[in-house]
Structure 1
Amino acid sequence: MSQWMTTVRQHPSGVLLAAQLIAVLAYPFTGDTPAGRAVLGIFGIFVLAVAVWAVRATPALTWVAILLGIPVVVLTVLEGLYPTNDVIRLWSSVLHALFYGYTAYGLVRYLFDDTFVTRDEIFAVGANFTVVAWAFAYAFMAVQVVWPNSFVSFQGEGFQAFPNLLFLSFATLTSVGLSDIYPVMPHARSFAMVEQVTGVLYVAMIISRVVSLTVLKGR
C-alpha cells in the first residue's frame, strides 16, 4: 500500500490522465438526471483537485490554478442545482475553459522544461491532450449559451449536453472527423477551427519533442 501511494505521488500526471478517462467512461452511466448531474459534479470537483495537484509538479504557478479553481468549484455546485440557468452555465463554462487552459499551459511547460523524459512526462502527454479537449468542450458550451443553436446533432438543433460537446471536442482535436455533432454558426466554427490547428500543432511540437528526447536518452 505504501509503495502504491508513493507511485501515485510520483506520477500526478498519470493520476490526472486516469481521472479524465474514468470521467469519459462514466458519462453514459449518469444520464441527464438530477442524481446523474450531482455525481458528475462531485467527480468533476475531484478532477479539478487532481488537476491543481498536477500543476504543482509543473513550472506553472499553483496559486493561479487555485484562484481559478475555487470559483469553478462553486459554479459546478450551482450548475448542478440550477442546470437551466444560462448565466451560471456561461460563467461556469468560461472559467472551466480558463482553468483547463491554464492546466494545459502548465503541462506544456512541464514537458518542455527538461532535457530528458521521465515516466510522469509520458503520462503528461496524454493528460495534456485530454485537458485541452476538456478546455475546448467548455468553450463550445459557452459559445452555445451566447449563440444558441450553434451546434446541431443527429437529434436536431437545441442545447447540446456537455458529453456531446466533449465528444465533438475529441473528434475535432484528433482530426478523425467521427462526430455526428457539427458546428453550424460562425463563432462555433471559428472555435472548431482553432481546435483543429491546436491538434495538429500538438502532434508537431509536443509529441515530436518527447519522441526526440526519448531517442536521445536511448543513445
Structure 2
Amino acid sequence: MNYLRLVLRTHRHPSAILLVAQLLGMLLYPFVENTDLGRIAFNLFGVAILGITTAMVRRTPGLAWISACIAAPAIVMLVLQLAFGMAQLVAWTSFLEAVFYFYAAGSLTAYMLEDHRVTTDELFAAGATFTLLAWGFTHLFILVQALEPGSYAAAVNTADPRTWTELMYLSFALLSSTGIGDVIPLTTKARALASLEMFVGLMYLALVVSRLVGMTLQARR
C-alpha cells in the first residue's frame, strides 16, 4: 500500500523526478569523472535524463515530438562515443543537448505560466527548469571549449580542458548570480556566453519565480 501511494505521488509530480535525477547526477559525477567506467556510466545517465525530460515535456504545452527529434540524434552520438570513442562528436552532441535542455526549459516555463493556479508540481518544475537551464549552458560551455580550446581557465590545472563538473559549477554560479568562482571565461565568445547566462538567470528569477511566489501568497490570503 505504501509503495502504491509512492507511485501515485510520483505520477502527480513528474517534475520532482526530473529535478531529483538532475541533482543526483550533479552530485555523483565528481566521484566518477576521472575513470573511464565512470564517464561511460554518466553518459548512460545522460541518456536516461534525456528520456525523462522528453516524457516530462508531454505534460507541458511543448511538443514531445520536437524533443524526441532533438534527443534521438544526441543519444545516437552518445552511443557512438561510448562504443567507438569518437571524441570528435563531443561538440555536436553538446550542441544538441543544449538545444534539447533549452527547449525543455521553455516548455516547463510555459507549463508554469499557463494558468493562475500554483500546484505542487509547478513548484518542483521551477527547480527543474533552473537545473535544465544550468545543464543547457554547461553543454554550450563544453561546445565553446571544444571549438576553441583554452576558452576557460581555473586555479588548478589551468592548461587542461575544464571538466564537466567545473563548467557545471560555473554555470550554476552565473545563472544564480552568486559569483564566478575560480573558473573564468577567457575568450570573447566564452565571456559573451557567460554574460547571456547571467541575463537569463536574472530574468528567470524576476519573471517566473517571482510570479509563482506572488500567486502562492495570493492564494494563501
Matches within 5 A, 1:1-219: 1-81=3-83, 85-86=87-88, 88-154=89-155, 155-219=157-221
Letter in 2 for 1:59: P
TM-score, normalised via structure 2 length: 0.95
Displacement after TM superposition at 1:84 (Å) = 6.4
Deviations 1:172-200, CA, capped at 9 Å, x for gaps? 11111152111000000000000000111
Percent sequence identity over aligned pairs? 36
Contact 2:18–2:49 (8 Å) recurs in 1: yes
TM-score, normalised via structure 1 length: 0.96
Displacement after TM superposition at 1:114 (Å) = 1.4
Q: RMSD between aligned alpha carbons? A: 1.3
Letter in 2 for 1:143: V
Letter in 2 for 1:5: V
C-alpha separation between the residues in 2 aligned to 1:175 and 1:79? 34
C-alpha separation between the residues in 1 aligned to 2:181 and 2:86? 25
SS in 1 for 2:29: helix
C-alpha separation between the residues in 2 aligned to 1:81 and 1:202? 38
Contact 1:83–1:89 (8 Å) recurs in 2: no
Deviations 1:65-101, CA, capped at 9 Å, x for gaps? 1111111111222233455623x01100000000001
Contact 2:80–2:86 (8 Å) recurs in 1: no
C-alpha separation between the residues in 1 aligned to 2:159 and 2:187? 11
Letter in 2 for 1:38: I
Letter in 1 for 2:163: A
Deviations 1:136-195, CA, capped at 9 Å, x for gaps? 000011111111110011121332121211111011111111521110000000000000
Letter in 2 for 1:192: A
For structure 1, the residue ranges without an aligned partner over 5 or more in a row are none
Displacement after TM superposition at 1:35 (Å) = 0.3
